[in-house]
Amino acid sequence: MSLVLHFDDEAGLASSLAEALGWSAAPILSHRFPDGEWKLTLPARLPARVALLRGLHQPNEKLAALMIAAPAARELGANHLTLVAPYLAYMRQDMAFQPGEAVSQRHVGRALAAWFDAVLTIDPHLHRVSTMDEVVPRRRGIAVSAAAEIGRFVAGRVPGALLLGPDEEAGQWVTVAAAAGGLDQGVCVKHRNGDHDVHVSLPGLALQGRAVVLVDDVASTGRTLVEAARAALAAGAVTVDVAVTHALFVGDALAQVKAAGVRHVWSTDSVPHASNAIPVAPLLAAALCGPDGPAQAPGRP
């Protein structure tokens, strides 16, 4: 028997994942003491193979809980322990840009490697690191992409759409999504002056009368999507929609995107959000049970 272990706030995705796998699912019960410390209660006995589902949006308290839950799971019988983190945090800081800056990707990755035998995630925000194996050294790191699912979804909702990446980094997702949906594509150029100060240049494509869908891996402040949407509409696009893997939409970001003229916003359910429209449980299940998945990797002695 194998088990999907989860926290209460991810029970829905855990149930879908367990059903797709043919596994059982069980919760980790949590209690917060008045001083903010966690008390976690796991099932009294665990099977040898456990997938611990924990998305790492708003990551800081969740990482503290994982630091407790992972060794507890091993004490209770888990021999092979996979972290399933649909969204994986602390990936953008992959080098020191100024003297003394902590390279958070490196340090969080090493911590996860110490706690888990494998880490599975969706569309991690990697720049100068090419594979997840570099993020979680000496453990199995697996990244799968929701881009093809997004492309097929968009093709069904907006036939003949032009998929547009709001910046160069989005090009890899746009290419896969366009191929899966049989759609045209293009990529904008982003000029960033700060976290909230960006300018977007459109590619040399005719947008007049086209239905445009902006495709990206993550929407956080939404500023790049806002600028790309405004530029596309100014260039004659008849509609602009947005499809992303991870819908973070910090603060009033979603309202700002809508105010820029975006018609629909769609996302996967990797991060719980009102825009969720594309399920990731089948994608995660296939990665867990495939011939190269983490379920095939040996556990710890």
State the average pLDDT for the chain: 91
Q: Worst-scoring range by mean pLDDT, 23-37, 133-147, 237-251, 255-269?
A: 133-147
For residue 258, indicate whether it is catalytic: no
Mean pLDDT of 138-147: 92
Degrees, nearest 5: CA angle 133-175-247: 70
**What is the pLDDT at residue 292?**
54
User: Tell me: the pLDDT tens digits for 151-203?
Assistant: 999 999 999 999 999 998 899 999 999 999 999 999 998 776 655 566 788 88
Report the half-sphere exposure of 222 (CA within 13 A, side-chain side).
22
User: Tell me: the pLDDT tens digits for 223-237?
Assistant: 999 999 999 999 999
User: Tell me: the pLDDT tens digits for 106-124?
Assistant: 899 999 999 999 999 999 9
User: Tell me: the pLDDT tens digits for 199-216?
Assistant: 788 888 899 999 999 999
In the predicted structure, residue 299 carries a pLDDT above the cut 70: no
Mean pLDDT of 5-17: 97
Mean pLDDT of 229-248: 97
pTM of the model: 0.91
User: Looking at the DSSP assignment, which residues form a beta bridge with residue 253?
Assistant: none
Domains of the chain: 2-144+280-296 (3.40.50.2020), 147-278 (3.40.50.2020)
Mean pLDDT of 22-47: 96
In the predicted structure, residue 218 carries a pLDDT above the cut 80: yes
